[in-house]
Amino acid sequence: MKSYIAFCTCCLLLLSGCSAQAPETHPIQSVDRETIWVFAQFNIPDDTNMETYYYYGRITEELYTMILDGQKTEGFILLRDIRYWNDDDQIEAYEDEDDNGSIIFKIEHLVKLDRVKADPLTRNAPPV
Q: Which residues contact 128 (CB under 8 A, 6 or more apart)?
A: 39, 54
Can you give the C-alpha Rg of the chain in angstroms?
23
Closest CA to 55 of 26, 88, 95, 27: 95
Q: How many CB atoms lie within 10 A of CB 54?
A: 14
Listed by start position, the domains of the chain span 35-123
pTM of the model: 0.69
Low-confidence ranges of the chain (pLDDT < 50): 8, 11, 13, 15, 18-30, 125
Residue type, 54: Y
How confident is the prediction for the chain on average, in pLDDT?
80
Instruction: Write out the DSSP string of 100-113.
Output: -S-EEEEGGGEEEE
